[in-house]
Every structure is written in C-alpha cells, then in structure tokens.
Chains A and B, each alone.
Chain A
Amino acid sequence: MKSNQKEFLKILSAYQIIIHKVNQIYFKSQMDKDDNFQEVVYQLWRTFPLLQNKSKPASWFYSVAINTSISKIRKDSRLKFCDKLPDTEETNPDELLERNENYQRLINALHELNEIDRSIMLLYMEGYSYDEIAEIVGTSNSNIGIKIHRLKNQLQKQFK
C-alpha cells in the first residue's frame, strides 16, 4: 500500500471516533450507521486535499460527518430506528444498566431535536468552545450561546 494511502488511513483510524459519535446522534439502526460511516469516509477522501490544517483535522471531520449525515436523513425518508442500543460488556450489570439507561435517554432526547440542534449539542458535549461550534456549524457565536442554553434546558426537562 502506498504511503499516502497509509497516511489517510492513519488519520481516519485516529479520528474515526468522531464519525461514530455523529452516527450515534443521527441514526439508531446499525445498518444506517454502517451506511453513513461509509458515505462519510467517501466524502472525507474526496475533500481531503482541501483540508488546510492536516495536523488538526477534528473540526473538518465533524463538518463532513454532520453534513453527510444530514444529507442522508433528508434524502432517505425510509430510515428505520431501533429501540435498544447494542449490548456491551461490564463487570457490574446494575451500574451498566443505570449508565446505559441514562445514555439511552440522552440519545432519545437528542433524537427529538432537529438535525442542526443535534449537531450543536454534540459539539457542546464534546467540549468545543462557542467559537469553534459557530465555525463548524456556520453561525455567529452569540447565536450559539443562546441556542445551547435553550437546548440544555430542553434536554434537562426531558430527563426529569
């Protein structure tokens, strides 16, 4: 395999978690997640030469993954959602149950939001600053601040 391909794979391997996280908030069925993962990789590959800062590709990964996921949702109205997340291994089943229950509730609450709000919350939960979120989403940071405040209240109400 050529070194340039290896480099792409290396970056993809290091940042693939971002695509998985975006998949978590946009899709519930494993089939849709796999399809979208493939589509995002394809788009990343196509747009890789346009990437300015190759040493920090996280924002670019988020942008491409979010845009591709939203396009897929809008194109494909047949998307199916399953109710449960896949089982995972854990030493303490009660703790796992509680953790996973909260996570499941959070995912369900996120799925109640529109596509853009979901992406904003994802970036917020991932620890991005308002400026960075505004840059990725393409709006002003004052709007982002207001939006996040409102979305947090909305999510907290759904958790009660």
Chain B
Amino acid sequence: METNDIKNIWNEGAEKNINPYSEEELSKIIVKSARKSIMAIYPGTIFRLVVIAIIVYIVARMILTNQNLEMKLLDTCALIILSISYFIWERSAYKMRKFTNGKPIKEWLEYRIKELEKGINFNTKYNWAIYGCSFLCAIGYYVFYQIITNIKPNILSVIVIPIGIIIYLLIVRYRLNQNYRKTLEELKDLYKQCDCL
C-alpha cells in the first residue's frame, strides 16, 4: 500500500462517516457544557435512587407494619423532612439547568452565577446554624427512636453514632463548599469568554 492510499482512504472515509452539527446543535452543546458544571452541586442518579428507596421504605413500613403512634409520628416527621428537602433540591436543579432556546448564553450564565453566589453567601453566613440544626435533627431522631423502642444507652449510641454524624456532616459540608466554588469558577470562566470572544 502506498502512502497516498492511506491518505485517500482516510479522507474519503472521514468525509463519508462524519456528520457535522448545525449551528443550533453547536449552541446547545455549549449550553450543555455549562450544565455539566452546574450538575456537580446537584444530586446524581445514585443519590436520587437512595432518597427514593428511603422514602419507599418509610412509607411501606408505615403501611405494612403494626407500629405504635410514637413510631408513626417519628416516621411521618422523617418522611416530611426528606420529601421537602428532596423537592427543593430537585426544583433548584431544574431551574438551574433550564435553558430556553434563543436566550443569549451570556444572560443565561449571568443568572446562574448570581444564584450560585447567593447560595455561597447564604451557606457562609448561616454555616454553623445549618449544620448545627442538621446535627440536632439527626441526633434527636436517633434519641427519640431509642426512647420509643426502649433501647438502653450504650457506647454505640452515646459515642460512636454522634461522632459518626459529626464526621458525616463535616464531609458533606467540605464537599458541597468545594463543589459550589469550583462550579462558580467554571461558570465565571465561561462568562468571561463571552466578553472576550
């Protein structure tokens, strides 16, 4: 085979097998890149499945098992908190990802950057309140569960579980802050390109 044959095969084959995108499709691809950055701060498929599984489990337990009133109350509280938090998170993710065709990308990015900055400011201002309340809710639920099921306090319930919850919340806080800042930087980078192009 001659050198030119390789070039010819390549050029003919590439021409036949490549379907270029239209400008509209390319525009959508740029928006998709920005969406990809935003998704770093919102729930993924595994997280969604875990939350749905927990909700289904709680509902099934309430319906199928013969629980006493306190236990039902506890499960209802857990269900309400989980459902509301999940709904708010999904709604926020939907709003951040939504893009109307024809809307200028710069304007679209501007809104997302503002929302993210608001989120970061809120998290910074009420940082300890948010995680303090989360800790109290988690520990309160656990203690109440122990009381109504007559479990006596032991080393696990007094030391291991609270420390475990604290470590878990600190990891969540660190990861969320990191992802928020990284996403904000990426969106700002994209926004700058709109000015520089």
Chain A bound to chain B: yes
Residues of A within 8 A of B (CB): 1-2, 4-5, 7-10, 12-13, 16-17, 20-21, 24, 37-39, 41-42, 45-46, 48-49, 85-86, 88, 90, 96, 99-100, 102-104, 106-107, 125, 127, 152, 155-156, 159-160
Q: Is the CB of A102 within 8 A of B26?
A: no
Decide: A48 near B16, CB < 8 A? Known: A37-B29, A38-B32. no
Q: Is the CB of A127 within 8 A of B12?
A: no
In Å, the complex CA distance between A21 and B197 comes to: 25
14 A-B pairs besides A46-B193, A49-B193, A155-B1 with CB distance below 8 A are A2-B106, A4-B194, A9-B26, A9-B27, A13-B21, A24-B17, A24-B18, A48-B197, A49-B192, A49-B197, A86-B17, A90-B16, A103-B12, A107-B13
Decide: A85 near B17, CB < 8 A? Known: A41-B26, A102-B9. yes
Decide: A103 near B23, CB < 8 A? Known: A46-B189, A48-B197, A156-B1. no
Nearest CB in chain A: distance from B99 CB, A = 13
Residues of B within 8 A of A (CB): 1, 3, 6-7, 9-14, 16-18, 20-21, 23, 26-27, 29-30, 32-33, 36, 102, 104-106, 189-190, 192-197
**Chain B residues, CB < 8 A from A45:** 30, 33, 190, 193
**Chain A residues, CB < 8 A from B7:** 125, 127
Q: Is the CB of B33 within 8 A of A42?
A: yes
